[in-house]
Structure 1
Amino acid sequence: MPPEIIALIDKPWLLAAVLAVGAICRMAVERVAENMKRAERRAYWKGRNSKPKGDRKVVPIKPVKPEPTDIAADQLRHVMRAQFTARPLLNKGEQRLLTVLDKALAEESPGWRAMGQVSLGEILASPDKDAYFAVNSKRVDLLIVDALCKPLHAVEFQGKGHHTGENTAARDAVKREALRRAGIGYVEVVSGDTPAEVREMVRKLVGRVGV
């Protein structure tokens, strides 16, 4: 054993002093290292905060999309709190027109039939999403279909107040063009047309098939 170690063992107070000095030095070194790290962190954040806002990278927060089951549950709660009443699918003028159309179709083209308030989103398709959404919620008053329910002709009833609404003509133009591009006919019946005139229109529509 080295004589220095033997001397320390022989003098316990000296050994204690050496150990105390060593502990103090170690604590001083650790404190200096911690202060240096703290200074580095301050410098980092100071430099980061001093940058113009435009240079900062903004990470957008992605909204949480509700689950379909949550949406359905919320809708059900609203429905259960509300009162509902049934209302006619067609107004009186459209009802009279449907009656005349059904009779004329039965005479002129058995198998054809007319349906009321048909959504264009159900009878039209397009790979262009914007174009499809432009017509998806629009409806036609009546739709003539064949025996396989293939849409043939849209029939719009123009009542006395039809063109008094704002942008009515523009909405009709959108529907007419979309139907034309799909190869579906578009005809209008005004409130003053007689049953005979409607039957004549049906005869012309039947004669157009295959032409």
Structure 2
Amino acid sequence: MNLPKYKNINKFLKNAVDKLSVSQIEQRLIAINELKELGSKYPEQYDNIILIMTNFIIKERSLNNLKDSDINPISEINSDVQLALNIITNPDIDRYLRRDRFNLSYVDIRGANLCGANLKKVNLRRSILYRANLIDANLENANLTGAVLSAANLKGANLAWASLCGAILNAANLYGTNLTHADLRCANLFLANLQKANLSGANLNGANLREAEFSGNKATPEA
């Protein structure tokens, strides 16, 4: 991409939005990569870039939109949505962003590869992350209230102070996860692997812990 010819950044961003609305996935991938390159050249534009990509993810995978579309509601995400997720959760751009402004609530991103992703303070309320790869992800203070994380791999993830009230974590791998002060009230942890997880100060009031594995925990949860 020849950035100097885009003297008007606003026009460039508008063109990218237009490309993201086309039906050809190849064009959408080009637009996402162009936005990524723009951010590397002009980091002050990251807020605009992330807003565009977040809106794109919501448009493609909003639970409300999927109900009224031809997309199979149980399908995993396409490569363009995965690429957009990789960019907006990249820890290397943290110094340019305020992640507490991110809103990815009510989206279906099942099967997403978010290994090592930074989702600190991100709103993922009632989103579907079924079978998502969240190994070593940073979800500190994230809002995962009512989220579906069944069979998700959260090994080594940081969920300190995260809101997981009413979340579904059936058969989730939480081995070695930091759950200090996490809100797990009424969460469903049936068959979850909580071995060596740090549960210091975690609130498990009303949680379903049937057949969950707990051996080797660093601390006991709050009653």
Fold agreement, TM-score > 0.5: no
Q: Whose helix proportion is higher, 1 or 2?
A: 1
Q: Which has the larger radius of gyration?
A: 1
Relative contact order higher in (CA < 8 Å, ≥ 6 apart): 1
- Which band: TM-score by shorter chain? under 0.3
